[in-house]
Amino acid sequence: MTLACLGLLNLGFAHAQNKDTADGLVKFVVEDVMNTIKNDKAIQAGDLRKINTLVDQKILPYSNFQKTTRLAMGRNWNKATPAQQEQITQEFKNLLIRIYSGALAQVRDQKIQYKPFRAAADETDVIVRTVVIGKGEPIQIDYRVEKTNDGWKVYDINVLGAWLVESYRNQFNDQVSKGGIEGLVQFLQQRNAALAAGK
């Protein structure tokens, strides 16, 4: 979970990065988020309110989380009503924040290496590759980034060979096959409630 958490939070660079390019966007968000975490003791202590604020202000504006959820649901996305789609997207976001919040406390002196980025000028769906350097083994984290009318947006993350969307697709399909779309909604709500209760 810690590795995946770093991936989620690494959607978050600093100064003078060009957010008009896919790799520039990833660098901007990664550095901005990591610098915020390193300077905020409450986030390091796992304060969910502060973590939610961090995600809302510094990650979500540069993410297409509805697309992340839609891809994770696969063919079942179109079976859901617009209201259910919105509800599942919100519950899924909350689930990931709760799962990954514990690893925030471990963000200290990690460094990010950005692999050489190559893409044709007209490409609109690309992968930006990075490596997190810390005390242990280097952690490879890749980002799928799509060009939209609102600029580049991250919609999937790969940590050590496991893409976030693929990791949840089978689980989501299983829940829908058991209890329909409402079954998936209830599953996500129950998981969030259990995590909120510390279970």
Confidence label for 103 from pLDDT (cuts 50, 70 and 90): low
CATH number for the segment(s) 2-196: 3.10.450.50
Confidence label for 106 from pLDDT (cuts 50, 70 and 90): low
Confidence label for 99 from pLDDT (cuts 50, 70 and 90): confident
Q: Work out the mean pLDDT of the chain and round it to a whole number.
A: 85
Give the pLDDT score at 83. 97
User: By percentage, how much of the chain surpasses pLDDT 90?
Assistant: 51
- The answer on pLDDT for 165 being more than 90 is yes
- Residue with token string 């919040």: 101
- Residue-wise DSSP of 127-147: EEEEEEESSSS-EEEEEEEEE
Give the pLDDT score at 46. 79
Helix (H, G, I), strand (E, B) or coil at 40: coil
- The answer on pLDDT for 113 being more than 50 is yes
Report pLDDT digits (tens) over 128-152: 999 988 888 888 889 999 999 999 9
CB atoms inside a 10 Å sphere around CB 148: 12
Confidence label for 104 from pLDDT (cuts 50, 70 and 90): low
Q: Which residues contact 180 (CB under 8 A, 6 or more apart)?
A: 79
Q: Which helix (H) or strand (E) holds 4?
A: helix 2-9
Q: Which residues contact 114 (CB under 8 A, 6 or more apart)?
A: 23, 26, 27, 128, 129, 130
Report pLDDT digits (tens) over 5-56: 555 544 443 334 578 899 999 999 988 988 898 889 888 887 878 888 888 8
Give the pLDDT score at 151. 93
- The answer on pLDDT for 121 being more than 90 is no
Give the pLDDT score at 109. 74
User: By percentage, how much of the chain surpasses pLDDT 70?
Assistant: 86
Mean of the pLDDT values across residues 91-97?
88
Does the pTM surpass 0.85? The reply is no
Give the pLDDT score at 15. 38
Q: Domains of the chain: which residue ranges?
A: 2-196
